[in-house]
Structure 1
Amino acid sequence: MVKASGAPPTPRILQQTLRLVAIIPLCMGVIGCAGLPKGVLAPIPATIPGASQVNLLVATTRAPASDPAVLFSGERGQGLRTTEITVSIPPEENRQAGQVQWPKRLPPDPSTEFATTKVRSLSDLGQIRGWLNQHLPRSRRVLIFVHGFNNRYEEAVYRFAQIVHDSHADVAPILFTWPSRANVLDYAYDRESTNYSRTQLEEVLRRAAQDPSVDDVTIMAHSMGSWLVTEALRQMAIRDGRVAPKIRNVILAAPDLDIDVFRRQSQELGPSRPKLTLFLSQDDQALGVSRLIGGEVDRLGQINPAAEPYRSELEKAGVTVLDLTALKSGDPLNHGKFAESPEVVRLLGERLVAGQTISQSKTSVSGQLEAVAEGAAQTVGSAASLFSLR
């Protein structure tokens, strides 16, 4: 029944509206692009001694930008475009692990700031295979990262470079970046852009898994990127009857996934689906907004994994969970803890990307994560709010 235009709003509608109005300015101030320079992908001619070089393969469904220092916009492009990008990261004594040191002005100062030192368009499969052969480590592992909502192309590049550097992951790093307008008010556009990009991500995953030089593919997704990853894997499973066997591990960090939809997606991946690890935080305010927009259905990245029915469901599915609720971060929205905590990032590189589950690791987790465990009384299992329900 349609309400009369003059009818007063219900208490429920008022509550939802007030919550949304209260948190949008916070979102815009914290995860918006204000203050970050644009055009950081113009390569500088050289870097400095002691700086680290992270070379990435970047595949995108974005449309090219008119500014070559930006490379790609937030609009949707045609097909898949691939670029090799090298990012210089300042010497360890000049930076804090877990943070991206954005340039204060351009050109950047590579002694204290991230800088781009190489950009090369790869126009055919031969060049892409050449990059993979050059950068594939002895482990023969590939890590494919998919960013989340509200990310510019260059933000995704620099964040993934930081994760690769700080985790010391022994992998060939590949970034898949989809068309995000990088505006908190464009949530619906971004969500549709993930659907627009499913087939291209499946193509990237398939190429990596079918390359004879690759032994293992790990996928890591953040926030809305988790929807894109699970949809691409589901599409692969439906098309081929299974997920490619080399795709063994999937890590979902702060997944912006409707819990009911995730249940269905995970079932449709089939019985031989990859090992799944979740990074979640019950105080994730960004997912609180997503839950509000999504009809008050729980988001996967914000559940209490020790409460029923989630505990039993995770156990049955063989999911490993890292509950970061008690971990403090510099992000007031508590949505990027997986990348900003040095301990968590090291855990990614030393264990999860290396193919271990948490329960298989015999090395104790560092002090800050142990403190997390002490503050998370509701979480079951071993140290650091980690528990393997496998």
Structure 2
Amino acid sequence: MTSLNSKRVIEAMFAIWHKLPELLNERWESFETDLFESLKTDAANKTNDQVAQEILEKFEKYKQVFELLEAKYQELFSQELFSPSENLESLETRVAPNTGVDLYGYEIIPVYFATPRHYDSSKKLDQQFTERRGDGSLNYGVAEVSIPLDRRMGSLNQPPFWRSEDIDKDMTIYSLTKLSQSEFSAQANKAFSDGQQREGMVFVHGYNVTFKAALLRTGQLAYDLAFKGLPLLFSWTSTGRFLGYPADEENVRWSQQLRHFESFLEFCLNELKLDTIHLVAHSMGNRILTETLTQIINVQTKSKLGQVVFAAPDVDADTFKNQAASFPSNAARYTLYTSKHDVAVRLSEFLHGSYPRAGKFEDENDVVIVNPVETLDASNRRNDFVGHSYYSDNTSIVSDIFQLFKYNSSPDDRLGLRSRTLQGGKMWIFSKL
């Protein structure tokens, strides 16, 4: 592999991971253990280039899997080089809300956020909220996320390494404003028109996520779900590094101890006077969400919970089951997306002494099925990207969440799902494409 792009090497590994057990047969277990042990060693100090090099060294021991990795790497690289160009002349002119600025080829989604990240005004706009903790208090603000009109549902449309950001092709941070708590409340309240249902959707990201990526993902979800309410982001202090897992765990614990998310949730409900609030968490962010759900005692808060989505939760399976018993009964629905092929959650499982995680299962005997949660098996959906974000990267799963939000329909009534009764209860499986 010439002109090595470390990010693409890591993405390529994730893309082919589900094929490796069959290729390696009896060598699979030792290969997986060897690779994970190598990545775990001194993880906090490794760069992405070092991670990519270690992956290559382990894969080179097996010709077949190395060739498969190389082919996927070249495919990902060529997609960057030869992405189809947009026909901008055919795109409709849009006007940014509340700005009066004519925008050609993209739309603006405002994302209101709270974060305990350290703020540094000297940095570039999309890097001002850093990977370091602040003083323990929450920072508030609003960002405008630009979304190209010509894009695939679920994609974040980021530029390849060889060119700069292009607002007509890429999702960007169009503007970002730090606000006081009172300014946040006033501006967010103005976003609702008279008579509009006051709905909010709070997204809690997972590990290995920068502040910019968290904003883009929140904007993407709101846009693809055609969400008419207020897009809200709670961004805890992830380091945004592939091997920053131990540091991210500590930052989640720190945020939980200070009850940041619970405070933000109560603030949104009380100050923004929301009628309904939907909660979507991904990966490690589910630890913050599940713990907060068990701590909600305010009856009014409970009654305002809408859809609660646990996407690929990096939560101990037994812990999740125990917590579920204390989830408020007033929520519209609780939905868990899990998969057999989630290598990121598998890596977490490996790091935690092989204790199963709620976001991954090996067979029907260890699927997390617990009331009041509805469990959906997303194994038949594409999962070929770092960050195991199949909940937002795959069109059919975004469509499923859309049906949840718009109609509150049960899994039995949603397209592309079939039910299966197991010993532990009922689950729903996405059909094969």
Smaller-chain TM-score range?
0.7 to 0.9
Which of 107, 110, 134 is the equivalent residue of 2:167? 110
Decide whether the 8 Å contact of 1:136 with 1:142 is kept in 2.
Answer: no
Q: Which residue of 2 aligns with 1:7?
A: none
The equivalent of 1:3 in structure 2 is none
Corresponding position: 1:346 with 2:399:
yes
| 2:288 maps to 1:228 | yes
TM-score, L = length of structure 2: 0.70
2:376–2:427 Cα contact (<8 Å) kept: no
Identity of aligned residues (%): 23
1:166 aligned to 220, 224, 241, which one? 224
Partner of 1:307: 364
Q: Quick check: 1:205 aligned with 2:265?
A: yes
How big is the shift at 1:267? 2.4
Partner of 1:8: none
Given the superposition, is the C-alpha separation of residues 268 and 53 from structure 1 closer, same or farther in structure 2, using an over 3 Å criterion?
Answer: same
Show the counterpart of 1:193. 251
Describe the shift of the 1:77–1:131 C-alpha distance in structure 2 as closer, same or farther (beyond 3 A): same
Q: Counterpart of 1:48 in 2: which secondary structure? A: strand
- 1:328 aligns with 382
Indicate if the aligned counterparts of 2:378 and 2:429 stay in contact, CA closer than 8 A.
no
Closer, same or farther: CA 85–377 of 1 in aligned 2, 3 Å: same
Q: In structure 1, what is the Cα distance between the partners aligned to 2:216 and 2:30? A: 39
Identify the residue that residue 134 of structure 1 maps to in structure 2: 190
Separation (CA, whole Å) in 2 of partners of 1:272 and 1:184: 37
1:63/1:84 CA distance change after superposition, 3 Å: same
Pick closer, same or farther for the CA change 1:88–1:46 going to 2, 3 Å: farther
Q: Which residue of 2 aligns with 1:384?
A: 430
- Give the Cα–Cα distance (whole angstroms) in 1 for the partners of residues 295 and 107 of structure 2: 37
**What does residue range 64-103 of structure 1 map to in structure 2 within 5 Å?**
64-65=119-120, 66-69=122-125, 70-78=127-135, 79-92=137-150, 95-103=151-159
Scaled by the length of structure 1, what TM-score is found? 0.77
Aligned to 1:276: 334
Deviations 1:93-122 (A, max 9, x none): xx2221111134786321111222221111
Q: Which runs of 5+ in 2 are unaligned?
A: 1-28, 41-50, 57-68, 70-76, 81-99
Alignment of 1:354-373 (within 5 A): 354=406, 356-359=408-411, 361=413, 365=415, 369=416
1:180 aligns with 2:238: yes
Name the residue aligned to 1:18.
34
CA separation of 1:193/1:357 partners in 2, compared to 1, >3 Å: closer, same or farther?
A: farther
**Aligned partner of residue 96 in structure 1, secondary structure:** coil
Q: Pairwise CA RMSD of aligned residues?
A: 3.6
Deviation, structure 1 residue 339: 0.7
Q: Deviations over 1:315-374 (max 9, x none)?
A: xx132222110112432x68111111122213223x22236043474xx52xxx46xx69
**1:23–1:281 CA distance, 2 compared to 1 (3 A):** farther
Matched-pair contact (CA < 8 Å) for 1:168–1:346: no
Change (3 A) 1:301 1:136: farther
User: Does structure 1 retain, via aligned residues, the 8 Å contact 2:112–2:233?
Assistant: yes
Q: By how many angstroms is 1:197 displaced?
A: 1.7
- Which string of whole-angstrom CA distances, capped at 9 and with x for unpartnered residues, describes residues 31-56 of structure 1? xxxx99xxxxxxxx977323111110
- 2:34 aligned partner, one-letter code: L
Q: Is the 8 A contact 2:379 2:430 kept in 1?
A: no
Q: Secondary structure at the match of 1:213?
A: coil
C-alpha distance in structure 1 between counterparts of 2:331 and 2:273, whole Å = 22
Aligned partners of 2:338 and 2:427: how far apart in 1?
A: 15
The question of 1:62 aligning with 2:122 is answered: no
Report the residue type matching 1:217 in the other structure.
I
Partner SS for 2:104: coil
Q: State the alpha-carbon separation in 1 of the partners of residues 376 and 401 from structure 2.
A: 11
Q: Distance in 2 between matches of 1:47 and 1:162?
A: 21
Counterpart Cα distance in 1 of 2:301 and 2:412? 24
For the 8 Å contact 1:249–1:355, the answer to whether it is kept is no
Deviations 1:214-265 (CA, angstroms, capped at 9, x unpaired) = 110110000000001111222334xx58963212331010000001111222
Query: 1:14–1:57: structure 2 CA closer, same or farther, 3 Å change rule?
Result: same
Tell whether the 8 Å contact from 2:114 to 2:139 is kept in structure 1 after alignment.
Answer: yes
Distance 1:51 1:226 in 2: 31
Q: Secondary structure at the match of 1:97?
A: coil
Paired amino acid for 2:177: R
User: What letter is aligned with 2:401?
Assistant: L
**Would you say the 8 A contact 2:173–2:212 is kept in 1?**
no
Letter of the 1:245 counterpart: S
Structure 2: which amino acid aligns with 1:356? N
CA–CA distance in structure 2, aligned partners of residues 155 and 310 of structure 1: 30
Secondary structure, counterpart of 1:145 in structure 2: strand
- Residue deviations 1:293-325, cap 9 Å, x none? 112111001136x834757x42xx132222110
Aligned pairs, number: 344
